[in-house]
Amino acid sequence: MCCTVATITVVTVRSQHIEYEADGRRAVGELSFDDAVDGVRPGVLVCHEATGLTDHAKNIAHRLAELGYISFAVDYFGDGQPLPRAQAMERLGELVADPLRTRQAGIAGLNVLLADRRCDHAKVAAIGYCFGGSMVLELARGGAQLACVVGFHSRLETPRPDDARNIVAKVLVNIGAEDPWILADERAAFESEMRAGRVDWQMNLYGGARHSFTNPASDGSTHPGIIYNEKADKRSWASMLNLFGETLV
């Protein structure tokens, strides 16, 4: 008589706060990794939504650590805390007006990730949500040495479209077809920008999905265009992992 012994893999994910400086502010990001894994591993930078560094971005970083990546959830507001809506919009306005400043805020977080001895510098991705997606696109336009960047419900426009020629990363953007802020003309302009820059890029459109479709806390209460969509969330996550399979192995 024979029997089959099941193998149980125990994932031991740790998260720790890391203080650093970004855009002249004291920033507090969150690093997540599986403490049971030895040696280097691919790294993923996670850039939060316009609401600030909330559980949404932290949970994403934790999930990635469970999959074997080391991830760092950046803080581009300061003190690792969300801001009241009016202050958040003021802060975002400053960054939207200056893509070079946005890039520097992203680079500050990227440097924290790269400074960790467990991060494989040859296998690093940057992903972002809402304005965080705009941030990773600006990192790519600035020539950051990333394997890939992924934007989720991220604005696609930039005042520096010619900088697309600097992009070395593979680019993926996941957009809700019913997003009230990312309209067809903006998507078309992004396509032209990527084509002119000879970028390896993809864009996924999710029918019925609006803005912030990856965040279960988005219930339409702040705006009817900001609402979670489980199907689009799962599909966009799978598309990201597929790109990771191409670039971070």
First to last CA, the chain: 40
Which runs of E-coded beta strand occur in the chain? 13-22, 25-34, 41-47, 70-73, 119-129, 148-152, 170-176, 201-206
> pLDDT digit string (tens) for 91-109?
999 999 999 999 999 999 9
The pLDDT value recorded for residue 85 is 86
**For residue 153, what pLDDT band results from cuts at 50, 70 and 90?**
very high
In terms of pLDDT, which residue wins out, 51 or 105?
A: 105
> pLDDT digit string (tens) for 107-117?
999 999 999 99
DSSP 8-state secondary structure symbol assigned to residue 210: -
Considering the domain 13-247, what is its CATH architecture? 3-Layer(aba) Sandwich (3.40)
Per-chain mean pLDDT for the chain = 94
The tokens of 210 are what? Answer: 């609006």
The pLDDT value recorded for residue 132 is 98
The β-bridge relationship of strands 201-206 and 170-176 is: parallel
The arithmetic mean of pLDDT across residues 58-86, rounded, is 95
The pLDDT value recorded for residue 8 is 47
Cα–Cα distance measured from residue 108 to residue 234, given in angstroms and rounded to the nearest whole number: 30
Ordered by start, the domain boundaries in the chain are: 13-247
Q: Which residues contact 72 (CB under 8 A, 6 or more apart)?
A: 18, 29, 30, 31, 32, 43, 44, 45, 46, 61, 109, 112, 113, 116
79-88, 182-191, 206-215, 223-232: segment of lowest average pLDDT: 79-88
The pLDDT value recorded for residue 1 is 46
